[in-house]
Amino acid sequence: MTQSMDRMKQQVAFIECLDRLKQVLRQNLVMDESRRENSAEHSWHIATMAMVLAEYAPQPVDLLRVVKMLLLHDVIEIEAGDTFCYDVVGNHDKEEREKRAADQLFGLLPVDLAAEFRVLWDEFEAGETIEAGFANALDRFQVLLQNFNSRGGTWRIHGIEKARVVQRMLPIKTGAPALWPVVEDYLAQACARGLLEE
């Protein structure tokens, strides 16, 4: 078998594995409240949001890099599962579980792609570059929109208070500061409508 055929088999194996992301259910409901969102849908949604909202990054960003990060950031959930952001116990070993999953999943790829994808995943997790900060902001903003449009969604289901939501939304303040007034408006409306506890 030729080296190019070996490479292609590795790439196809990774692509086949990606299909499992469609089976990872998140806590968040889709906006019509009919069901829980899966992680593949979440990744597609925020990658599209990046294209629509790129002008609100605090400075010009490498949009392709942002989209790549958003499409890859939750791939590790295939092995690590989705950890609800407000689950204190589940978040205790989340970082360790996700790093092992990243090693395993990106390890399916040829060495050059594995390295590229891992760098993007690590960059998103660290959140220190302009692109990663913007990507993280969109990751948080999407969940805000879902909870608001599903009559409180996971906030209501799990009795989450406004202070915890504000804390969770803080990356938006630096990653997409122009969106922060929108966040504050949604939170104020959510409290006024009884969707979120003060």
Residue 176, helix vs strand vs coil = coil
DSSP notation for 102-124: HHHHHTTS-HHHHHHHHHHHHHH
Q: Is residue 143 part of a domain?
A: yes
- What is the domain count for the chain? 1
Indicate whether 178 belongs to any domain.
yes
pLDDT at 5 over 80: yes
Calculate mean pLDDT across residues 172-194.
97
pLDDT digits (tens, 9 = 90+) for 39-88: 999 999 999 999 999 999 999 999 999 999 999 999 999 998 888 878 77
161 forms bridges with which residues in the sheet?
A: 197
How is residue 136 written in tokens? 């993280």
Specify if 80 maps to a domain.
yes
Contact of 22 with 38, CB cutoff 8 Å:
yes
- Summarised one tens digit per residue, pLDDT across range 86-111 is 877 777 788 899 999 999 999 999 99
Confidence (pLDDT) at 86: 82
Residue 27 domain-assigned (yes or no): no
Position 1 pLDDT exceeds 80 = no
CB within 8 A of 17, min separation 6: which ones? 78, 105, 108
pTM of the model: 0.94
The reply to whether 13 falls in a domain is yes
Mean pLDDT value of segment 164-169: 96
Helix (H) or strand (E) holding 135: helix 130-149
In this structure, what token pair is assigned to residue 53?
């909202």
Residue 114 covered by a domain: yes
* Residue 107 forms part of a structural domain: yes
Q: What is the mean pLDDT of the chain?
A: 94
The CATH number linked to 104 is: 1.10.3210.10
Residue 38, pLDDT score: 96
Task: Residue 129: give the domain boundaries.
Answer: 3-17+44-192
CB neighbours of residue 117 within 10 Å: 20
Residue 23 belongs to some domain of the structure? no
The pLDDT, as a whole number, for residue 166 is: 97
Alpha-carbon gap, residue 94 to 107, rounded angstroms: 19
Rg of the chain in Å (alpha carbons) = 18
| pLDDT given for residue 32 in this prediction | 94
